Amino acid sequence: MRISAAQVAARVLEALEKGERIHTAVVVDAPDRSLIGRRWWLSGRRTRGTLGSPALDEAVAAAVPSLFPPRESRGALSRDFEYSEGGSTVTARVYLELHGPPARMVIVGAGHIAIPLARMGAMLGMRVEVLDDRPEFAAALRFPDAAAVRVIDFRDPFAATPLGPWDHVILVTRGHSFDYECLVRLLRMEAPPGYVGMIGSRRRVRATHEQLAREGFTTADMNRVRAPVGLDLGGQTPAEIAVAVVAEIILFHAGGTGAPLVEKERVVERFFGGATGRRAVAARGGRSADVRGTGTQTNGD
C-alpha cells in the first residue's frame, strides 16, 4: 500500500504524543524508478506502507537498530541497501528518520546546583524532571523549566520515574547515602540510563564506591557512573558547575574531544608558522606586522 509524506507525518505526531519511537523510510534512488518516493514506517512491532519490495523492507527493518542507537531520540540519514530482486542483487538509496520522545534529564536532589542544571537541560531541548524528598525543595516554583518536579522517597527514588537508555540521570543529592541508594537502583536496572553522573568531591565519590564494593558491585559497574560528573572547567559556582555537567552531556552525544578548539585546530601554528607567524605574514606582504591590518592587506596582494 502506498502512503504519502503527509500521512507519515500524521503518524509521527501521533507517536510523539504517545511517547513512542517511530522510524520512517523513503526510497530516494533505485534502479527501478517506480520505487522512488515509496514510504514505510516502523514503530515497535507495528509497520505500515512499503518501500516497493518486501526484500528491501526487510533489509531496512533489519538495519534500523544499528543505525539509530537506543539512546538517541532524533536521527536522519541516508544509506544504500542491497536486496535481491528477481534473482539479482540491486541497490536502493533510502532516507531514514527516527522520531522519539525527547531526551530526558532527571536531576536527583533539588538543591542549588539543580536550579541552573534544570534551566540548561531545558535549553538543550531535554525534558527535565527534578526529584527530592524535601517538599520545600522539590517545588515547581523553583523549577519553572522542569516538565515535572516530584517529591520522592530515597528508599525507592525512581518509583514514579521509569527510566530508559535515552535518559540522563544526574545525582546532586545532599549526601552520599542518598547517592548510594540511587546508584544501587540504577546499576541494577535491566536497561539503565545511558548517562549517569554523580557530583561530589573525590572523598565523597570514594565513600559511595566503597559502599558499592561492599555490596558486591564491580569496578565495571562503578565505571558506568560518571563521578565526579562534568568536565574539568575549573568553575566553582552552581551555574559554572552546571555548565561543566551539560558540557559533558553534549560531549557524550556529539563525540568531541572536550579540548579547546584553539588547541585542536592550531590555525595560527598550521597556517602562519607558529610564534613567528606575524612576522612571516608581514614579510610576505611587505607591510605592517599589525595583526588587525595584515589579513586584509595580504588578501589584496
Partner 1 sequence: MDEKELMARLAGLEEPAVLATIVSAKGSTPRKTGARMLIGREGVLAGTVGGGCGEGEVIAAAQGLFEGGPPATVRVDLTDDFTSWSPAVCGGIMNVFIERANPERFGGG
Helical spans, DSSP H, in the chain: 5-18, 54-67, 114-123, 176-187, 202-214, 219-223, 238-254, 261-265, 267-272, 277-285, 291-299
**Contact with partner 1 (CB under 8 A): which of 18, 19, 28, 290?**
28
**To the nearest whole angstrom, how small is the minimum distance from the Cβ of residue 291 to partner 1?**
23
Complex with partner 1: residue 17 or 190, whichever CB lies closer = 17
Q: Among candidates 150, 144, 202, 210, which has minimal Cα distance to 177?
A: 210
By CB under 8 A, residue 91 contacts partner 1: no
CA distances from 67 to 33, 231, 278 (A): 25, 28, 47
By CB under 8 A, residue 47 contacts partner 1: no
Please provide residue 173's backbone torsions phi and psi, each rounded to the nearest 5 degrees. -75, 175
By CB under 8 A, residue 16 contacts partner 1: yes
**Contact with partner 1 (CB under 8 A): which of 62, 64, 76, 250?**
76
**Contact with partner 1 (CB under 8 A): which of 20, 97, 122, 164?**
97
By CB under 8 A, residue 62 contacts partner 1: no
By CB under 8 A, residue 254 contacts partner 1: no
Upper half-sphere CA count for residue 186 (Cβ side, 13 Å): 29
By CB under 8 A, residue 95 contacts partner 1: yes
By CB under 8 A, residue 253 contacts partner 1: no
List, edge to edge, every strand of the sheet that includes 74-85.
Answer: 46-49, 39-43, 22-29, 88-99, 74-85
**Contact with partner 1 (CB under 8 A): which of 78, 91, 201, 237?**
78
By CB under 8 A, residue 155 contacts partner 1: no
Cβ pair 227, 197 in contact under 8 A:
yes
Complex with partner 1: residue 7 or 298, whichever CB lies closer = 7
Complex with partner 1: residue 51 or 196, whichever CB lies closer = 51
